[in-house]
Amino acid sequence: MAKRILITGASGLLGRAFLATFSADSEWETLGLAFSRAGDRLKKVDLTDPDQVAAVVREFKVYTDYVFDGTKPPYKPGDKPSPLNKYGLSKAAGEKVVTESSPGNIVLRVPILYGMVENLDESAVTMLFSKVKDVGKPAEMNHYERRYPTLCSDVADAVRVLVNSRVKSADLTGIFHWSGDEMMTKYNMAVTMAELFGIPTQHIIADTKPATGAPRPFDCHLDCSRMEELGATKRTPFKVGIKPVLERFYP
């Protein structure tokens, strides 16, 4: 009998990669959930409504073992908050709720992500490409914080390793990390994008000051050894992963 996985946020950047990866695996039966972008393939469930959540868990007959990355604070007025914000939770507090609400729960932390986007503004990585393409306009790109851009489908693959391990061993709990291993600043990402498409780079200017906005460490490296011990391996090189993502935005 196929194992079942309920994927929340399946209309979003990360969730759509999860849905694609698990749907392509005959061992898994999937149900993708969404909210404003629900439709034929995605069931509408408001995650801020406990009754709707309980109903879908009951109907789809899944155990609630979470693989989950906390929440996204609204960094500036107008940013769309994520469901846990309804409960006034920060990312770290959201993780605490998940790990403490049941001893079997799991948190997966991930860094800056990119993947198949509906528009360039959907990810902090693809967003850079709009400025890269605009060669007539100087574009300052942060060249201070060390980031590790990670392809969503690699995260989905790692999650499949994680949940398969969790199904075999109920002892597997707590906090895990998964990340690409290429250290790049946003400036490095922008120059790589330009070079991939033969776009001149003179307008791309390295900004060596710490970024303003959401505070983050100088080096955002995550220790992925727990996931590597389980057998997670897929780390697509940035040049290979980003090219098909951007191709449809560069005629």
Where do contacts with ligand NAP occur on this chain (CB under 6 A)? 9, 11-15, 34-38, 45-48, 69-72, 82-83, 110, 112-113, 123-124
Of 12 and 199, nearer to ligand NAP (C-beta) is 12
The two beta strands, 204-207 and 67-68, are: unpaired
Of the two residues 82 and 142, which places its CB atom closer to ligand NAP in the complex? 82
Coil, strand or helix at 121: helix
Query: Could you tell me the two tokens for 54?
Result: 């309980």
> CB of residue 114 vs ligand NAP: minimum separation in angstroms?
7
Of the pair 106, 110, the CB lying nearest ligand NAP is at 110
CB atoms closer than 10 angstroms to residue 214: 11
| CB-nearer residue toward ligand NAP: 132 or 152 | 152
* Nearer residue to ligand NAP within complex by CB, 121 or 195: 121
Strands 106-109 and 139-142 come out as unpaired
The minimum distance between CB 251 and ligand NAP, in angstroms, equals 25
Residue nearest to ligand NAP (CB): 12
141, β-bridge pairs: 206
233, two tokens: 């391996």
Q: How far is the CB of 150 from ligand NAP (least distance, A)?
A: 8
Nearest to 204 by CA among 128, 140, 133: 140
- State the DSSP code for 184: B
Tokens 């769309």 belong to residue: 80
Q: How far is the CB of 89 from ligand NAP (least distance, A)?
A: 11
Smallest gap from residue 4 Cβ to ligand NAP (A)? 19
